Structure 1
């Protein structure tokens, strides 16, 4: 494992507080002439941008453009790292050796960092994407590999992930700041994990339900699980998926209702 300076060893948890929430979205998820997310419009809503770093989506031109747009709007930039899986959009299960995964995580962060610095800002945090995100909820070995990749950069970057995940456990153990995340448009199990996308009802598609769930997560730290039982999910950041139909309008509705209900929307870093 790479060593880092004392700032990293002094890492802390960025606590969740009822009534305060960061809004993050997955952006830059295009490649060449193909685009998926309305980056410009979503950057007028969110406070943090998870930028694809080329392994599940994104390319050099896209990364540069999104970093420039985010910097101009004061939106924090996060490296959304993933398995090397362009064809499967990073959502296919893969087995990658730990040393290889650590190197590829560092590579992705470094690539995005070039464009963030050129835009006058920096990479402020790291969030895994897709299959990697789900894998490191319960897989300690892959979680440690992701953390090792962050440490390889030499920067004590906060790690964004699911509450109670092995990823946040590994990050905290390495002295990195950890940030808990919730989803208004994803169904939860009674254990607080996400229902796999392949199952019916895994994605909440009713806009009214997404808004209601988002406000409940931000204000009360709770959500109704797939079983109908209310569970505790305390998070400092709320993800708004940018690749769903009507994503911009829905994101605007969520933010407007959060602010109307007295929630303070602000970045965690």
Structure 2
């Protein structure tokens, strides 16, 4: 896979410059004035390496890993055997690397950190997507992302087959209980939102069926049902009659998500996709060139 191919399918909010900046900050944080341990390797030493997955996973983050090596030595060569979105098995090779041994060793940990973290998000997302297979509901992320990795983690959710909720505070209006309290009522806060006459999505969170009815009466077209029971979710769908987009959130895990989807809601948002993850076990093994 060529370097340019790593960037062909990125969403609109993500590009090569953003990835390069994230990698630059990460390398600076890790290396500071230099890698003292890599300096033990004779200058100019050349090596080969292979990164493998120790477990089954959905791969995500190839562009970030490639950037880690490229920024330390543009002459390092990578031969990708997989691409973002591929399902891999234990002990499967992911990428072959050859070039300067010092640069390779300095890039190893930041590169693996990116790949194993984003692959974890994609893998976790795929489990939820598979759990509701055959049902029309979508699996969505939230803003509960790791600081500095918002766009990367949201891309990983897409890679795993999920969809993105709003990207950030500027990307849409989500009216929560404190906004309602500060504005005075559901009707008042929705009226204020509609008065902005902006094109971004306007969504309001409700906590019970009475608030749902108030939101519908006030003209809401997107409603988040917060911590509803299954019975109340079914009732909400019946009350709604497809007037608004309904999104369930709260108390969602792999044991409950299918039942939630079966109530007829349109979307299910899950903070755990990006904050309750365990890094995929990856390993880089280096061999000296003869």
So what's the TM-score if we normalise by structure 1?
A: 0.35
**Which of structures 1 and 2 has the bigger CA Rg?**
2
Q: Larger RCO: Structure 1 or Structure 2 (Cα < 8 Å, ≥ 6 residues apart)? A: 1
So what's the TM-score if we normalise by structure 2?
A: 0.33
